[in-house]
């Protein structure tokens, strides 16, 4: 069966450190992968998109890697801040479902001062 | 503020009621989506509209009936819902729905079925 797994339900790190979140998938052949941030009571907010032929994408303090051989994406937040505390969702876009998104369960990140 | 507006923000209804959720976007997007999200779970796709036509229905029960009156509006009509239908209902849009595009989400309607 198809699965999207994010490494942990919760991740606690100290302010200023780099947070690394993992997204693994099985039995998928995704055309691309997206990362979203969701705050309590709010809808997800798009952060980054990476295509299957791209290895790495950056945006400010965010970096995403995509390894289709390992079937894994890593999401990094450098110089983390308490304001980065949120749930981070990875989502796969599938060619054969009109590019509809399938989401992982998310990782709840807590950055403490 | 999000660019996708959903109303109402909260809705409480009985199992025999009929109500509708509304979603609006003015970004010129031609693909719109309904997702259902239970507490501490990821959003689950329900329906996709592309150019005002229903393109994907993820085997959603008929008590949920989507409608796309025009390219800016998306409705979800509710009838005879069950308590397990209580959830956050999210609307999203993307440029065309074909290809690799980010989705823009509203903040959802929190639905409670009594």
How far is the first Cα of chain A from the last one, in angstroms, to the nearest whole number?
Answer: 41
What would the two tokens of residue B84 be?
A: 């397990």
Q: Place A96 in a pLDDT band, splitting at 50, 70 and 90.
A: low
Cα distances from B74 to residues A41, A73, B7, B62, in angstroms, run: 21, 33, 11, 17
Cα–Cα distance measured from residue B22 to residue A81, given in angstroms and rounded to the nearest whole number: 35
B109 within 8 A of A109, measured Cβ to Cβ:
no
Check residue B12 and give its pLDDT: 95
CB contact under 8 A, A44 and B90: yes
Tens digits of residue pLDDT in A32-83: 899 999 999 999 999 999 988 898 999 999 999 999 899 999 999 999 999 9
Check residue A97 and give its pLDDT: 60
How far is the first Cα of chain B from the last one, in angstroms, to the nearest whole number?
Answer: 30
The answer to whether B103 faces chain A, any CB pair under 8 Å, is: yes
User: What DSSP string describes A39-108?
Assistant: -TTS--EEEEEEETT-SEEEETTEEEEEETTTTEEEEEESS--GGG-EEEEEEEE-GGGTT-EEE---EE
Q: Place B98 in a pLDDT band, splitting at 50, 70 and 90.
A: low
Listed in sequence order, the DSSP H helices in chain B are none
Q: What is the nearest CA distance from A36 to chain B, expressed in angstroms?
A: 9
Check residue A82 and give its pLDDT: 97
Tell me which residue has tokens 């999000």.
B2
Q: Place B29 in a pLDDT band, splitting at 50, 70 and 90.
A: very high
SS3 B70: strand
Cα–Cα distance measured from residue B111 to residue B114, given in angstroms and rounded to the nearest whole number: 10
Residues with Cβ within 8 Å of A78's Cβ and at least 6 positions away in sequence, in order, are A18, A61, A63
Q: What is the nearest CA distance from A103 to chain B, expressed in angstroms?
A: 6
Residues 43-102 of A with CB under 8 A from B: 43-46, 49, 51, 89, 93, 97-102
């Amino acid at each position: 069966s198809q699965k999207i797994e994010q490494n942990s339900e919760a991740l606690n790190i100290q302010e200023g450190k780099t947070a690394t979140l993992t997204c693994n998938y099985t039995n998928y052949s995704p055309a691309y992968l997206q990362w979203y941030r969701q705050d309590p009571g709010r809808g997800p907010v798009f952060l980054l998109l990476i295509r299957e032929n791209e290895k790495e994408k950056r945006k400010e303090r965010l970096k995403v890697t995509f390894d289709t051989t390992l079937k894994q994406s890593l999401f990094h937040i450098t110089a983390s801040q308490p304001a980065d505390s949120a749930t981070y969702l990875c989502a796969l876009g599938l060619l054969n479902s009109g590019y509809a998104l399938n989401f992982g369960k998310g990782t709840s990140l807590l950055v403490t001062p | 503020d999000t660019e996708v507006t959903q109303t109402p923000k909260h809705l409480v209804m009985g199992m025999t009621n009929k109500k509708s959720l509304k979603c609006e976007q003015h970004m010129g997007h031609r693909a719109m989506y309904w997702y259902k999200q239970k507490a501490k779970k990821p959003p689950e796709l329900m329906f996709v509209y592309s150019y005002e036509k229903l393109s994907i229905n993820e085997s959603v029960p008929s008590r949920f009936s989507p409608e796309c009156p025009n390219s800016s509006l998306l409705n979800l009509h509710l009838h005879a819902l069950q308590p397990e239908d209580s959830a956050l209902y999210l609307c999203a849009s993307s440029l065309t729905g074909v290809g690799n595009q980010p989705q823009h989400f509203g903040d959802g309607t929190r639905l409670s079925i009594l």
